[in-house]
Amino acid sequence: MEYRRAQNGVYAVVLHTGDDPIEALTEFARRERITGAVFGIGALEWAEIGYFDVHKKQYLVRRVDGFFELLSLMGNIVFVDGEPVVHIHIILGKPDYSTVGGHLMKGKVSVTGEIFVFPADIPQLTREVNPEFGLKLWKVE
């Protein structure tokens, strides 16, 4: 992973072959103490994606293998108890031009990841467990 900050404060984050997008963005956020919005494209070799089942109150996780176009990566970064939490959703394009998507749990970059991080200095924004769903959802203090 490499990254640079533009004069307007936006970061360009480049993920390399073998990088896990969640691990890389977590490390980036930890180093730079960044909260904000995340948008990107690229290519993945495999991914574990989740779908939250509201009745079971848990993620149903499926691994997809193959080479995929990362058509859309979007999400956010906030800090909880001093540590960054990276929340990303993705849409992957398959060789047959169909798609699959969901909550990115982890994955492996095959060619590149080209990601913009737009900082949002909102120190009151964090995550707190929602008792109805058991998920850490946004909370504005």
- Enclosing H/E stretch for 31: helix 21-32
Average pLDDT of span 75-102? 96
pTM: 0.93
CATH of the domain at 11: 3.30.1330.80
Q: How many domains does the chain have?
A: 1
Residues whose CB falls within 8 Å of the CB of residue 82, separated by 6 or more in sequence, listed in order: none
The parent domain of residue 39 ranges over: 2-140
CA distance 49 to 67: 15
**pLDDT tens digits for 2-19?**
999 999 999 999 999 999
